[in-house]
Chain A
Amino acid sequence: MIHSLFLINAAGDIFLEKHWKSVVSRSVCDYFFEAQERASEAENVPPVIPTPHHYLLSVYRHKIFFVAVIQSEVPPLFVIEFLHRVVDTFQDYFGVCSEVIIKDNVVVVYEVLEEMLDNGFPLATESNILKELIKPPTILRTVVNTITGSTNVGDQLPTGQLSVVPWRRTGVKYTNNEAYFDVIEEIDAIIDKSGSTITAEIQGVIDACVKLTGMPDLTLSFMNPRLLDDVSFHPCVRFKRWESERILSFIPPDGNFRLLSYHVSAQNLVAIPVYVKHNISFRDSSSLGRFEITVGPKQTMGKTVEGVMVTSQMPKSVLNMTLTPSQGTHVFDPVTKLLSWDVGKINPQKLPSLKGSVSLQAGTSKPDENPTINLQFKIQQLAISGLKVNRLDMYGEKYKPFKGIKYMTKAGKFQVRT
C-alpha cells in the first residue's frame, strides 16, 4: 500500500522521509515539484499525480506537503485519509504541526510513523494507542529525560491493541473526573447580492473532552434528536443504539476527541444571524471606486455576535484602499489584494461599518466583478439549529463526574456575493 512518505516544506525541501518497504529514491518527488510549479497555488496541486513507476498522493496542511508514494492500485481516499490522520496525530502529540516542531522531534515522529504503518498498511492509528507506545514529549518529561536518561518510549507493552475498545487506554486515573462536551455548529451559506439566501446549511460537531477514571460507559441523549439528519460517529459510539433509540452510548476515548459530526436537515430553515450591507462600486471613468460595508445582527436569538471578521479578495486592478472603520482594525495587503477587517463584537445600537475609497490602476478598465465578502463570527451559548442535549449519564463507574455542555455557533463557509 503506502510505500514511502516525504514531507516537503513550502520552499520545496524534503525535510523528512520514511520508507515502509524498500527505499524509494527521493528523486521521485521531482514529479511533484513539476506539478507544484504548474499549479499556481499550493491548494491547486492535484492530490494524485501519476509518474511512470509510482503514484504520488499528497495532502497540504500547515504549509507542509505530505507526499505518499504508492506503487499499485489502492483507493486514493484510503491514503489521503491516512495522511490526514498522520497530521492529526502530530497535532495531538505536539500541539501544533509545523516544520520546526517536526524537525525538533524527528525521532518521535519517526517512531510514531513506524508504529502507524506496517508494510504500508495501517496498524495503529488511534492516538490513544500510539501515546501508550510512544509518549508525547512534554516539557516536564524532557527535563526528566535529560536528567535521568529515561526515554519517551513506553516501557509497558501496548495492551491497547489487544483490547476490545482500542481507542481507550486502560488504567486511566484522574483526581477530578470531568466530562465536557462542546456542541459547535457552523453555518455554511451563500448570500446573494440582494441579501437573499441562496444556500444555507448547518453542520455541527460535538467535541468532547473526557477525563474520567476507569472504564466509564456514557450515554448522551438529545431533546430533539430528529434535527440530526446525517451523522457520523467516532468508532466508540454504538451504532445500534443510535438507530433504535437515538441515544449516543459509548465508552469514551481518554482526552479530546470528536464524538459526532452531524448535518441538520436542509428542510429546516436556517436562521442567518448577521447581514451585510454593501455598496462597492468602481467607476469606469475615474480610477477611484467607492467601498462601504456595514455588518448588522439578524436572528441572533438575543445573543451577541462576536469575533466578527470580514475578509474580501479584491480584484487585481485594485491598487490601494483608504478606509476608515467605525470600530475594529482593518488591513489591506496590496500584494495579495486581500482586505481583512477585524470587527470584534457587534453592538446593535451602533452598527460597525467600513467606508472609504478604492484606488484602481490607472488605464485599466473597471473590474467586471465585485469582490465576494467572507464572513466569520461566533455566537456563544447558542446552537443555531436548536439542538439541545437532554442528559448525560454514566454507567460502569461509581464516582460522580463533573459534567458540562457548551454550545457555540460559528460561521463556516459564509459568503456574501456583491
Chain B
Amino acid sequence: MAASPAYGEEKGGSSSLGEPEYGHDPASGGIFSSDYKRHDDLKEMLDSNKDSLKLEAMKRIVAMIARGKNASDLFPAVVKNVACKNIEVKKLVYVYLVRYAEEQQDLALLSISTFQRGLKDPNQLIRASALRVLSSIRVPIIVPIMMLAIKEAASDMSPYVRKTAAHAIPKLYSLDSDQKDQLIEVIEKLLADKTTLVAGSVVMAFEEVCPERIDLIHKNYRKLCNLLIDVEEWGQVVIINMLTRYARTQFLSPNQNQESLLEENAEKAFYGSEEEDAKDAKAEAASLAKRKPYVMDPDHRLLLRNTKPLLQSRNAAVVMAVAQLYFHLAPKAEVGVIAKALVRLLRSHSEVQYVVLQNVATMSIKRRGMFEPYLKSFYIRSTDPTQIKILKLEVLTNLANETNISTILREFQTYIRSMDKDFVAATIQAIGRCATNIGKVRDTCLNGLVQLLSNRDELVVAESVVVIKKLLQMQPAQHSEIIKHMAKLTDNIQVPMARASILWLIGEYCEHVPKIAPDVLRKMAKSFTNEEDIVKLQVINLAAKLYLTNSKQSKLLTQYVLNLAKYDQNYDIRDRARFIRQLIVPTEKSGALNKYAKKLFLAQKPAPVLESSFKDRDHFQLGSLSHLLNAKAVGYQELPDWPDEAPDPSVRNVEVPEWTKCTIREKRKEKVEKPFYSDSEGESGATESADSEPESGSEESGSSSSSGSSSSGSEEEEEEEEEEEEHSEEQSEDKEEEEEKRLKRKEKEGSRKAAPRSVGSPSEEEEEEEGAKKSKKKKALQGRKGRAETSSEEASTSESSSSGSDSGSEAETKRRKAPPSSKAGPKEISLLDLDDFTPPPPQPIPSSSIVSTSLVTDLEGLTLTDTSLTPTLLSPAFGTVKTYELLHRMAGEGLAVEYCFSRRPFPGDPHMVAVQIQISNNTDAEVKNLRVSEPKPLSGMRIQEFPEIESLAPGDTASVVMGIDFCDSTQAANFQLCTHTRHFYVSIQPPVGELMAPVFMSENEFKKEQGKLTGMSEITEKLTLPEKCRSDHAIVQQVTSAANVGRVPCGASNEYRFAAKTVTSGSLVLITLERREGGAAQLTINSEKMVIGTMLVKDISQALAQ
C-alpha cells in the first residue's frame, strides 16, 4: 500500500527531472529499508544549491505529509531552507514546519529568527504571513515571542495584519491558556477595530478565548451590527451566533406580552373557531394597548434589521445563522420571514438538507404556521436518501392540522408503498402521530392502518400493529372489531414486537373480546416454547389477566403456561412466572396481595403520548452542533434566557472624542456674537466648512441651524443670559452631553432610519416655554415661533429665504397685522426661527396658560386656514430634528441624501408633511438635474416634488423641501431620485409623531374634545418614568420630540397635556400624561385615528423610558 500511491504521485515530478539518482521513490522503501538510509536522497536534494532540486524534494515531502506518512526525520534538512529565496520552496518549508515543529521543538527554534525578521518587513503581506506561520508553530517556549508579535500586529497599520493577529489569538490561547488576560486585552483592542476585514476574525477569537466576557461587546455592538453585511461570509456566521447570545442577555423578550394571547389565538384558530377571525380590529388594538407596554430596544431592532438581508446569502451557514437569530430573538410576527430562505436551502446538497431539516423540524413544532405555506416543499421523492425522507416525514407530521391532514394522508398513502422499508415504517409511525394529534382523522387513520394489516410485507404489518395498539389504547371500547381482527393475525405475523403488541392488547381488553381471548391463549400456549422472549412475557401477562377475569375457561391453560415458563431458559421469564403464580393463584401461603391482583393487573393504563423526538430541542441554540446531536457538545455556550429586567441599554452608547466638544463650544460663542440680522446662508456656509468631518452630515445641519436661528432670537437671549447666567451654564453643560450622545449615535449608526427619536436637548424645550412668556410684549413672536430647528440650509431655499428677512421683531409685528400675501398662507407664520442652541434659562410653566389664552385671541385674527375649527394650527413646538438617511453615500455612488421632518407646515398644501432633504455631492464630478421622478405613492398618497436642482458642484450640499401627504398612515412613500446619469429608488417612512401638526387649544377646549373621544378612541397606558425623566421639562421635551404636538395649558401640576391634528384628515390627537407617586405615570391618548393613537402611545412611552 505504501508503494503504489507514492509512485502515482511521483511520475509528474521526479521522472521529468531526468536525474536517475533521485528518481526512485523515497517513501516506497520506507518500511523495509533501514532507517539511517531513509530519505537520504531527499536530504541530498535539500542540501543542493539548485532551487529546482530543493523544490522537487519539498514537493515530495509535502506529498508524503499529505498521505499521512512520517517525514519528521527530515526536519534538520528542511528547516535549513526556511530562509530560501524561492517563494514556493519557502512556502512548502512553512507547511512542513507547521506540521512537525511540535515534535522537534528545539530544532524549530532555529527558524524563529526568520519570522521575527519577517514581522518587521515593510510589506504588509510578508508581515502577515510571518505572523501566521510563527503563531502556527506550537512550541511553548516561544509563547512570549508570539505574545509580543500579536500585540504589535494588533496595532499594525494594515487591517490585513490585524486580521492575522486576530487569527493568532486562539492559537496562542490553545498553546498557553495562562495568557488569557493579556489576550483579552488584545481582543478588546481589536474589537474596537472599524474594518470589516478584522471583525469576523476577532469575534472568532473572542468566542474561543473569552465568550463569557459579554461586556466587551457593549461598546462595539452597534458597530458590529452595521458592519455585518460587509463582513466576509464565515465571519458573518460567527458574529451572528455571538450576537444572538448577546441579545439574549441584554434585551427583553419581544414576545413576553403576546405570548399568552397569541398562543390562545393559535390554539383557537387551530380548532377552527371562525368567529375568532371576525374579531373587531378596534377592540384588539385597545386590548393590546391595555397590556403592559413592551418597547423593543432600538438596538434589538437594529440587529434584526441588519441581519435580515443576509437571508439572501448564497452561503447556507449564513442563512441558517440568521434563521436561528430570528427564531430566538424576533417577535413572533416577524419570525415567518425565515421560512422561505430555509425552504430554499432544501434545494442544496443532501448534507445541507439534513441539517436544515433537523432545524426546521424543531421550529415547526413551535411555529407551525411558519412553514405551512411550504408544505409541498417537504413532499418526499423516491430518490431522496432515507435519512432525508425520514426528516421530511417528521416535518410533514409536525405541520399536519385539520385543514391539510387529508392531503398529507394522501401523500402518506403513496409513501407506504415505497420500496424503502425503513421509510415505510417511519410513515406508519407518522400516521399514528397524526391520528393522535388530530382527533377528526383518528378513525380514518385507524382504518387505514387496519388495512395495512393485510399487507404482504411483514415489517409493515408489524409496525402497523404497534401503532394501532397505541391508538386503540386511547379509545378501546369502540374498536373490539379491530382487536378481533388482530387476534386472527397472530397466526401469520412473526415479528416479535408485533406479536407481543397483539397479545398485550388482547390481554388488556379481554373483556371486549371474551370469546376470542382464551382461544388466543390456547394457541400461544401451544407455541410457547418457540416464541421470542418478549412474546413469552406477554403470553404470561395474557394468561394472568385471563385467569383473573375468566378463570373458568383459562385456569388450566394458565397453569400450563406458567409451568412451561417455570423451566424456561431465560431467568426473567422464570422469575415472572413465579411472581405471577404467587400473585394470582390463591394458596394458603400467598399473602394479602392476592386480593389486589385484579387491581394490579387490570388497572387503567394511560394512553401513550406520541410525540415528536424534536420536541423541546429548541433549548439548544438552533443551528448548533449540540442541537443536531441533541446533546451538549464540547464548548457549547448555553443560550441564556431572556432577562426579566433589561440591563442598562446605555452601556452600548459610545462616547464622543474630545474634539467635538470643543467645536460645539466654540460655535456657540461665535454665535452669540453674531449680528442680529445676520445672513443665515452665509453663516451656514462658514460653519460647514469649519466642520471637517464629511460623514456627520446630520450634525452639520444641526449645529449650523442653531447658529442660523440664533440670529432671530438672540435679542431676548442676551437678556436672559444676563439674568440667569448660572442656570444657563448648567443647562449648557447638560446640553452638551446630550448633544454629544446624539452626535455620536448618528455618526455611528449611519443608516439607522427607524432609530428612536434622539433625545432633544432640554434647553431647547425650555426655550419654548420661555419664549411663550417673553412674548408678553411680543405675543406674535410666540405665534410665529418656528420650529427652532430650521436648519440654515433650509433658509437657502426660496421659500425660507424670505423668512430670513422677516426675522426681526419689527417685521414680525408688521406681519401679524398684514397677513402674508404669499401662497404659503398661514403656514408662513412659522417661519420665524428661534435659536435652539443657546440655552435660555428654564422658567416655571404654569404661567403659560395666561399667555396662551391671550395668544389664542390674537391668533384667531390671524388664522387664514380654510379649516373652521376653533383650535388653531400652531407652528410646531420645535425639537431636535432627527435626520434619517435616504440614500447612503455608498449606495448613491457618492451622492448622499438625508432627510428630516422639519415640522414646518408645507407651503402650498396644508395636508402635506414637509420633508426637508439634504443632498450632498461627495463625488468629484458635478451632479446635474437632481430631481424627483416617478413617485409611486400608495393609494391616496401624494408627493409634491422639490424643484429640480440644476447642478451640484462636487463637495457641495443642497437642501430642498418636499411635501408628502402620507394620508395619516406610516406607509413609506416611494419615489425615484434622479440625476443626469442615475436613478435611485428611495423611500421615506414617517414616524407616527410626524404625521401631525400642533394645535393650540385652551384647557376647556381640550377637555371638551377629550370628552368626545372616549371609549374606543381612548388608549391608556401605564408606565414608569426613569429617574432622569421626571422633571417637568424633561417630560415635555421628550413628548414633543417624539411627536409634533403642542402643549396645552393645564391647571394640575402633575398633568401634562398636548394636542395636535393629523396633517391629512385633521383629526385631533390629544395626549394627557398624568404623573403619579414615584415614577409611575399614566399616558392617555384620545384620537379617532386608533392606529395612530396606538403607535403614538408606543413612541411616546419609548421616548419617556429613555
Which residues of the other chain, A, contact B16 by a CB distance below 8 angstroms?
146
Any chain A CB within 8 A of the CB of B676?
no
Which residues of the other chain, B, contact A229 by a CB distance below 8 angstroms?
340
Interface positions, chain B 63-121, Cβ under 8 Å from A, are: 63, 65-68, 86-88, 91-92, 95, 99, 102
Tell me if A166 and B232 are in contact (CB < 8 A).
yes
Compute how far the CA of A93 lies from the CA of B629 in the bound complex, rounded to whole angstroms: 35
Which residues of the other chain, A, contact B347 by a CB distance below 8 angstroms?
188, 203
A89-113, CB under 8 A of B: which get 1 and which 0?
0000000000000011011011100
Any chain A CB within 8 A of the CB of B1094?
no
Any chain A CB within 8 A of the CB of B634?
yes
Which residues of the other chain, A, contact B168 by a CB distance below 8 angstroms?
119
B621-639, CB under 8 A of A: which get 1 and which 0?
0011110110101111100
Most buried by A among B59, B66, B352, B355: B66
Compute how far the CA of A175 lies from the CA of B574 in the bound complex, rounded to whole angstroms: 90
Chain B contributes a number of interface residues (CB within 8 A of A) equal to 108
Tell me if B87 and A106 are in contact (CB < 8 A).
no
Task: Select the stretch in B381-389, B470-478, B835-843, B919-927 that faces chain A.
Answer: B381-389
B65, chain A: closest CB distance, angstroms:
7
Compute how far the CA of A119 lies from the CA of B134 in the bound complex, rounded to whole angstroms: 12
Tell me if A155 and B87 are in contact (CB < 8 A).
yes
B972-985, CB under 8 A of A: which get 1 and which 0?
00000000000111
User: Which chain A residue lies CB-closest to B61?
Assistant: A107
Contact among A48, A81, A203, A241 for B316, CB-based, below 8 A: A81
B665-692, CB under 8 A of A: which get 1 and which 0?
0000000000000000000000000000
Compute how far the CA of A149 lies from the CA of B171 in the bound complex, rounded to whole angstroms: 36
Tell me if A368 and B457 are in contact (CB < 8 A).
yes
Tell me if A76 and B8 are in contact (CB < 8 A).
no
Tell me if B352 and A81 are in contact (CB < 8 A).
yes
Any chain A CB within 8 A of the CB of B521?
no
Tell me if B344 and A74 are in contact (CB < 8 A).
no
Tell me if B125 and A158 are in contact (CB < 8 A).
yes
A266, chain B: closest CB distance, angstroms:
8
A1-32, CB under 8 A of B: which get 1 and which 0?
10000000000011111110111001000000
User: Which chain A residue lies CB-closest to B91?
Assistant: A153
Chain A contributes a number of interface residues (CB within 8 A of B) equal to 101
Contact among A21, A23, A166, A245 for B983, CB-based, below 8 A: A245
Tell me if B986 and A121 are in contact (CB < 8 A).
no
Any chain B CB within 8 A of the CB of A118?
yes
Contact among B65, B123, B132 for A110, CB-based, below 8 A: B65
Judged by DSSP, the binding face of B is helix
Compute how far the CA of A13 lies from the CA of B383 in the bound complex, rounded to whole angstroms: 27
Tell me if A47 and B174 are in contact (CB < 8 A).
no
Tell me if B170 and A119 are in contact (CB < 8 A).
yes
User: Which chain B residue lies CB-closest to A364?
Assistant: B456
Which residues of the other chain, B, contact A73 by a CB distance below 8 angstroms?
624-626, 633-637
A346-389, CB under 8 A of B: which get 1 and which 0?
00000000000000000001011100101000000000000000
B120-150, CB under 8 A of A: which get 1 and which 0?
0001111000001001101000000000000
Compute how far the CA of A327 lies from the CA of B46 in the bound complex, rounded to whole angstroms: 64
Tell me if A77 and B124 are in contact (CB < 8 A).
no
Tell me if B9 and A76 are in contact (CB < 8 A).
no
Task: Select the stretch in A38-46, A272-280, A299-307 that faces chain B.
Answer: A38-46
Which residues of the other chain, A, contact B229 by a CB distance below 8 angstroms?
239
Which residues of the other chain, B, contact A123 by a CB distance below 8 angstroms?
167
Any chain B CB within 8 A of the CB of A286?
no
Tell me if A58 and B351 are in contact (CB < 8 A).
yes
Compute how far the CA of A413 lies from the CA of B385 in the bound complex, rounded to whole angstroms: 13
Tell me if B349 and A107 are in contact (CB < 8 A).
no
Any chain A CB within 8 A of the CB of B153?
no
Any chain A CB within 8 A of the CB of B1035?
no
Task: Select the stretch in B412-420, B440-448, B494-502, B525-533 that faces chain A.
Answer: B412-420
Tell me if A59 and B125 are in contact (CB < 8 A).
no
Which residues of the other chain, A, contact B124 by a CB distance below 8 angstroms?
162
Any chain A CB within 8 A of the CB of B257?
no
User: Which chain A residue lies CB-closest to B415?
Assistant: A369
Interface positions, chain A 374-418, Cβ under 8 Å from B, are: 374, 413, 415, 417
Which residues of the other chain, A, contact B92 by a CB distance below 8 angstroms?
107, 111
Interface positions, chain A 112-156, Cβ under 8 Å from B, are: 114, 118-119, 121-123, 125, 142, 146, 149, 151-153, 155
Given contacts A47-B350, A106-B66, A245-B983, 7 further A-B contacts (CB under 8 A): A16-B66, A72-B636, A80-B352, A151-B86, A188-B347, A232-B319, A365-B456
Pairs A–B under 8 Å by Cβ, sample size 30? A1-B204, A14-B68, A16-B67, A22-B102, A48-B355, A73-B634, A81-B316, A84-B351, A111-B92, A119-B136, A119-B171, A121-B234, A122-B232, A125-B233, A142-B12, A149-B52, A162-B125, A192-B414, A199-B379, A201-B376, A231-B312, A235-B313, A243-B309, A244-B987, A245-B983, A261-B344, A367-B419, A369-B419, A372-B381, A413-B381
* Interface residues, chain B, with chain A CB atoms under 8 Å away: 1, 5, 8-9, 12, 16, 51-52, 55, 59, 62-63, 65-68, 86-88, 91-92, 95, 99, 102, 123-126, 132, 135-136, 138, 158-160, 164, 167-168, 170-171, 174, 201, 204, 229, 232-234, 237, 241, 309, 312-317, 319-321, 340-341, 343-344, 347, 349-352, 354-356, 373, 376-377, 379, 381-383, 385-387, 411, 414, 417-419, 455-457, 623-626, 628-629, 631, 633-637, 888, 891, 983-987
